[in-house]
């Protein structure tokens, strides 16, 4: 299968890198797509890469690369070509942070035939699509990358993630734990450094934002640490067994009791960690998720993206909103030229986008 894969290739973190690697490992041809970009534009230290104009059409890409079998978009950023309403191949998107900017993500999804959501609790919110085209596809990790590196487990509690503001729950809990336990240094880690941290941790703590079932859940298990996470009905209770594959807590008192217990009872901690790692290998690798995605696209209804049934002006309005959220002022203005009947809509969107970028220093 030939897959056009769009994702923000400039960053070292994100799912796209792993999807690309796994698709190739499964024997598929992968063509990575992006706009010209630099992670420095976002304050990062990633790569600066050439790419396509955001005005390129999906038909032009199909002609250039020769009959692709799937266009797969992994948000955010990346390349969303024009003309998806007439895409000559199935299209699919993977949507992540549905706890933030839900409306924007609902609009974005209308561009695609199939929508894959990491979060089970939001599947019913994407109701513009017909049955069989919106799917729960939980996170997973590439177990060739996220694996137990065999390090000495000399860190009591490991955590990798943003701490947010000075009064955030994450910062408060980590400061509380640091008073009595060895916690890894809290800083920005490259993706390549995370398996090392988790391979040194006896316990990996998961403090999900928006009660999501996140990457950390799977990465910690895959690296052989015991996972301690919030008790949330977000799908983790369907995929894994609490007390067997992971340990859950509810509130500070419960958290501290369980950290103390499992650090004091090494055999119990190692048993849970081993069961969790084995369950990931049995049922939750990224290779399995990719195969599930391809199967659902192949077996599901074809050509059902809501934008395919829209008139030309309605389709343009979808693109205006998507481009606004991506911060692409010039692309909005160019789209306005192609739709003179919507020029004031386009100009207003461009102005809002420019103002947002100025305020955010983006």
Percent of the chain with pLDDT over 70: 96
pLDDT tens digits for range 149-181: 999 999 999 999 999 988 999 999 999 999 999
pLDDT tens figures, 311-351: 999 999 999 999 998 888 888 899 999 999 988 888 888 88
DSSP secondary structure of 65-93: HTS-SEEEEESSSS---BTGGG-SS-EEE
Q: Is 235 left (phi over 0), alpha (psi -120 to 50) or beta?
A: left
CATH of 2-140+289-309, one of 1.10.3720.10, 3.40.50.300, 3.20.10.10, 3.40.50.2000: 3.40.50.2000
**Under a CB-based contact definition with an 8 Å cutoff, are residues 37 and 49 in contact?**
yes
Evaluate whether 195 touches 223 at the Cβ level (below 8 Å).
Answer: yes
List the beta bridge partners of residue 116.
Answer: 94, 135
Residue environment code for 242-273, b if the CB has 16+ CB neighbours within 10 A, otherwise e = eeebbbbbeeeeebbebbeebbeeeeebeebb
Quick: pLDDT tens for 60-74: 999 999 989 999 999
Q: Is 147 helix (H, G, I), strand (E, B) or coil?
A: coil
> CB pairs under 8 A, 24+ apart, for 123-126?
125/98
Decide: 115 and 126 in contact? Cβ < 8 Å. yes
> What tokens appear for 346 in the block?
């386009």
- Give the Cα separation of 99 and 62 in Å (integer): 34
pLDDT at 275: 98
Residue 36 falls in which region: left (phi positive, over 0), alpha (psi -120 to 50) or beta: beta
pLDDT at 48: 59
Domain spans in the chain, listed from the N-terminal domain onward: 2-140+289-309, 155-284
Q: May I ask the CATH class of domain 155-284?
A: alpha beta
Residues linked to residue 141 through DSSP beta bridges, in sequence order: 285
Compute the average pLDDT of residues 290-310.
96
Question: Does residue 42 carry a pLDDT above 50?
Answer: no
Which of 12-26, 44-58, 181-195, 309-323 is predicted least confidently? 44-58
Question: Exposure of 131 by Cβ count < 10 A (0-12 exposed, 13-18 middle, 19+ buried)?
Answer: exposed
- Can you give the pLDDT at residue 345? 86
Which residues are bridge partners to 117 per DSSP? Answer: 95, 136
Query: pTM to 2 decimals?
Result: 0.93
For 123, other C-beta atoms within 10 Å of its C-beta total 15
Inter-residue contact 184 to 137 (CB < 8 Å): no
Residue 107 to residue 321: CA distance in whole angstroms:
8
Radius of gyration over every alpha carbon of the chain, rounded to an integer in angstroms: 22
């Amino acid at each position: 299968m030939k897959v056009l894969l769009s994702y923000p290739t400039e960053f070292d973190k994100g799912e796209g890198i792993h999807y690309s690697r796994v698709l190739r490992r499964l024997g598929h041809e992968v063509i990575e797509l992006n706009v010209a970009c630099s992670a420095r534009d976002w304050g990062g230290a990633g790569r600066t890469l050439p790419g396509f104009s955001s005005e390129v059409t999906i038909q032009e890409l199909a002609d250039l690369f020769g009959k692709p079998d799937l266009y797969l978009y992994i948000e955010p950023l990346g390349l969303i070509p024009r003309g998806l309403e007439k895409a000559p191949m199935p299209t699919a998107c993977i949507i992540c942070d549905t706890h933030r900017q839900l409306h924007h993500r609902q609009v974005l999804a209308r561009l695609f035939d199939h929508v894959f959501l990491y979060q089970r609790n939001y599947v019913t919110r994407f109701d513009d699509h017909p049955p069989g085209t919106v799917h729960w596809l939980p996170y997973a990790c590439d177990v060739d990358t996220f694996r137990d590196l065999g390090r000495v487990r000399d860190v009591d509690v490991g955590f990798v993630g943003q701490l947010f503001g000075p009064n955030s729950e994450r910062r408060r809990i980590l400061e509380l734990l640091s008073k009595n336990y060895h916690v890894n240094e809290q800083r920005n880690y490259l993706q390549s450094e995370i398996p090392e941290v988790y391979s040194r941790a006896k316990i990996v703590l998961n403090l999900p934002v928006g009660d999501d079932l996140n990457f950390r859940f799977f990465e910690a298990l895959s690296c052989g640490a015991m996972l301690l996470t919030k008790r949330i009905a977000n799908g983790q209770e369907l995929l894994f067994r609490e007390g067997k594959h992971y340990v859950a807590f509810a509130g500070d008192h419960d958290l501290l009791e369980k950290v103390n217990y499992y650090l004091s009872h090494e055999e119990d901690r190692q048993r849970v960690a081993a069961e969790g790692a084995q369950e990931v290998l049995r049922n939750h690798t990224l290779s399995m998720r990719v195969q599930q995605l391809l199967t659902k696209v192949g077996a599901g209804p074809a050509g059902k993206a809501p934008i395919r049934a829209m008139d030309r002006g309605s389709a343009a309005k979808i693109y205006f909103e998507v481009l606004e959220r991506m911060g692409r002022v010039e692309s909005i203005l160019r789209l306005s030229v192609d739709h003179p009947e919507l020029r004031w809509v386009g100009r207003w969107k461009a102005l809002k986008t420019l103002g947002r970028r100025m305020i955010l220093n983006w």
